[in-house]
Amino acid sequence: MPDTAEPTRLLREAGLRVTRPRLEVLAAVHAHPHADTGTLLRAVRDALPSVSHQAVYDSLHTLTGAGLVRAIQPAGSATRYEGRVGDNHHHVVCRGCGAVADVDCAVGDTPCLHPSADHGFVLDEAEVVYWGRCPQCAAAPA
């Protein structure tokens, strides 16, 4: 988040009340891309020590519903959150340590992949998760 006015503007434009927990959660998501709820709770508590786990969880749910935060859930992993929204990007996940990184859409507009059959659905997103080992895990002895 570039400045303190930006999160307030984003919340208001989304039709949400501006609350301290929402501001802190939004800031934490941008400061810690692909973080799980526990990591975000610790980050929010650094700025707002009395915040409850439920307030952080509710804020994440509200911000995700408003499209200000994106939730991703790689198979076998806790839900993670990121502030990169509004584009159709994908993720690469390390099988060793669970690190996650963004991967831009390879070709085309949203969705960047076109299925052989859409079964009547109006498609607006394609999700691809690449799996492998990050450089640190790949370099570690087996």
Question: What CATH number does the domain containing 114 carry?
Answer: 3.30.1490.190
Q: Which is more confident, 128 or 36? A: 36
Give the pLDDT confidence score for residue 111 in this predicted structure. Answer: 59
Q: What is the pTM of this model?
A: 0.84
Q: Which is more confident, 88 or 28? A: 28
| pLDDT tens-digit readout, 99-131 | 999 998 766 555 566 778 889 988 877 788 899
Residue 28 has pLDDT above 80, yes or no: yes
* Interatomic CA distance for residues 73 and 59, integer angstroms: 18
Give the pLDDT confidence score for residue 110 in this predicted structure. Answer: 59
Would 105 be classed as within a structural domain? yes
Q: H-type helices in 1-126, by residue range?
A: 5-13, 20-31, 37-47, 53-65
Average pLDDT, the chain: 89
Comparing CA positions, the residue from 58, 95, 97, 55 lying closest to residue 75 is 95
- Our count of domains for the chain comes to 2
Would 79 be classed as within a structural domain? no
| pLDDT tens-digit readout, 63-84 | 999 999 999 998 888 999 999 9
Long-range contacts of 15-21 (CB under 8 A, 24+ apart): 15/66, 16/62, 16/63, 16/66, 19/59, 20/48, 21/48, 21/51, 21/55, 21/56, 21/58, 21/59
Residue 2 has pLDDT above 50, yes or no: no
Residue 1 has pLDDT above 60, yes or no: no
Comparing CA positions, the residue from 1, 56, 8 lying closest to residue 32 is 1
Three-state secondary structure call for residue 19: coil
How many residues in total does the chain contain?
A: 142
Residue 8 has pLDDT above 70, yes or no: yes
38: containing domain: 5-72
Residues 39 and 13 in one domain: yes
Nearest 5°: the CA angle 19, 85, 18 is 10
Residue 19 has pLDDT above 90, yes or no: yes
Between 14-18, 26-30, 100-104, the lowest mean confidence (pLDDT) is in 100-104
Residues 29 and 54 in one domain: yes
